[in-house]
C-alpha cells in the first residue's frame, strides 16, 4: 500500500489530468507517468481509475473529519440541520482545489462503468461518515433514509457549486440551505411510515424467531418420542 505522499501524488495527478483531458480519455499509463509512480506499483494499489476516484472520496472524508476533530466544529450548532450544513460546506472547501477535475469527471463519468461498484459503496459510506460528523445517527432504517437523502441533497448542491465562480459561494450556500430544509420536511413526513415499517420489521423478526423456536421444540419432542418407543421395544423384546 503506498504511503500518504505517494497516495497524494496519484490522486493529485489523476485530478489534474482529468481537468486537462477529461475522464474518459484518461489512462492508467497517463496517471503513472504524471504521478511518477511506476505502473506495476500503481496496479498493486488501484485496479481501475474508479478505484482512484473512490480513494479520493475517502481522502476528502478524512480531511473533513480531521478538521472537525481539530476545530470541534459543529458542536454549538442549534440543530442537526445546521451541523450538516457546516459539515457539507467544509467538504466543499476541501474539494475546491479539485473543482476543475471534478467538473470534467461529472461530465464524463456517466459514460463509463469503470469501478462503479466500489464508487457506489464508497459514496454510501461517505454519506454516513458526514452524518456522523454532524452528530446524526445513521443506524437502522431511518439512518439509511437519511444517508440516501443526504446523497440527493449533496448531488444537487454539487451541480451548483461546480459552476459557481464567486469564492464566497452564495449560490451554493443558498442551494444547500434550501435542499436541507426540503429534506428535513420530507423526513418529518416520513417519520410515521418509517416508524411503522421499523415496528413491522421487528414484529416479523419476532414472529420468525418464534416459528424457529416452535420448530426446534417440535423436532426435539419427536426425537424424544422415537427414543421412548425404541426403549419400550427393547424392553418388550
The confidence score (pLDDT) of residue 4 equals 86
Q: Does domain 4-194 have CATH number 1.10.357.10?
A: yes
Number of residues written out for the chain: 237
- Residue 192 in this model has a pLDDT that exceeds 70: no
| % of the chain surpassing 90 pLDDT | 48
- Report whether 101 contacts 11 (CB < 8 A): no
Each residue's pLDDT tens digit, 8-57 = 999 999 999 999 999 999 999 999 999 999 999 999 999 999 999 999 99
The confidence score (pLDDT) of residue 223 equals 72
Compute the mean pLDDT over every residue in the chain, rounded to the nearest whole number: 81
What are the residues whose beta carbons fall under 8 Å from the beta carbon of 118, sequence distance 6 or more? 48, 50, 51, 54
Split at pLDDT 50, 70, 90, the class of 237 is: low
- If you ran DSSP here, which 8-state letter would residue 137 be given? -
Buried b (16+ CB within 10 A) or exposed e, 137-164: ebeeebeebbbebbeebbebbbebbbeb
Split at pLDDT 50, 70, 90, the class of 77 is: low
The confidence score (pLDDT) of residue 146 equals 83
Q: What is the dihedral of CA 189, 191, 193, 198, to 10 degrees?
A: 160
- If you ran DSSP here, which 8-state letter would residue 74 be given? T
Split at pLDDT 50, 70, 90, the class of 221 is: low
- Report whether 143 contacts 187 (CB < 8 A): no
Split at pLDDT 50, 70, 90, the class of 78 is: low
Q: Model pTM?
A: 0.73
Each residue's pLDDT tens digit, 119-137 = 888 988 999 999 999 888 8
SS3 at position 36: coil
The confidence score (pLDDT) of residue 161 equals 96
Lowest mean pLDDT among 63-67, 151-155, 181-185: 181-185
The confidence score (pLDDT) of residue 11 equals 97
Helices and strands (DSSP H and E) totals, the chain: 9, 0
Dihedral of alpha carbons 63, 69, 75, 76, sign:
negative
Domain ranges of the chain: 4-194
Higher pLDDT among residues 235 and 104, named by residue:
104
Nine-digit cell string for 8: 497524494
Amino acid at each position: 500500500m503506498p504511503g500518504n505522499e505517494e497516495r497524494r501524488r496519484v490522486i493529485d495527478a489523476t485530478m489534474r489530468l482529468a481537468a486537462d483531458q477529461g475522464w474518459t480519455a484518461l489512462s492508467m499509463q497517463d496517471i503513472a507517468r504524471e504521478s511518477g509512480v511506476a505502473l506495476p506499483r500503481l496496479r498493486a494499489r488501484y485496479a481501475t481509475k474508479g478505484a482512484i476516484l473512490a480513494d479520493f472520496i475517502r481522502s476528502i472524508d478524512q480531511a473533513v473529519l480531521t478538521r472537525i476533530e481539530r476545530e470541534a466544529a459543529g458542536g454549538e450548532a442549534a440543530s442537526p440541520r445546521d451541523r450538516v450544513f457546516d459539515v457539507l460546506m467544509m467538504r466543499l472547501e476541501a474539494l475546491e482545489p479539485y473543482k476543475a477535475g471534478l467538473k470534467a469527471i461529472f461530465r464524463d463519468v456517466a459514460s463509463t462503468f469503470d469501478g462503479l461498484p466500489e464508487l457506489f459503496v464508497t459514496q454510501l459510506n461517505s454519506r454516513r461518515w458526514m452524518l456522523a460528523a454532524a452528530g446524526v445517527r445513521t443506524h437502522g432504517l431511518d439512518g439509511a433514509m437519511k444517508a440516501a437523502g443526504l446523497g440527493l441533497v449533496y448531488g444537487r448542491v454539487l451541480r451548483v457549486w461546480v459552476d459557481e465562480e464567486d469564492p464566497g459561494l452564495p449560490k451554493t450556500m443558498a442551494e444547500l440551505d434550501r435542499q436541507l430544509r426540503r429534506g428535513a420536511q420530507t423526513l418529518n413526513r416520513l417519520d410515521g411510515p418509517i416508524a411503522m415499517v421499523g415496528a413491522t420489521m421487528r414484529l416479523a423478526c419476532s414472529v420468525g424467531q418464534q416459528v424457529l423456536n416452535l420448530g426446534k421444540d417440535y423436532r426435539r419432542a419427536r426425537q424424544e418420542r422415537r427414543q421412548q418407543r425404541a426403549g419400550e421395544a427393547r424392553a418388550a423384546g
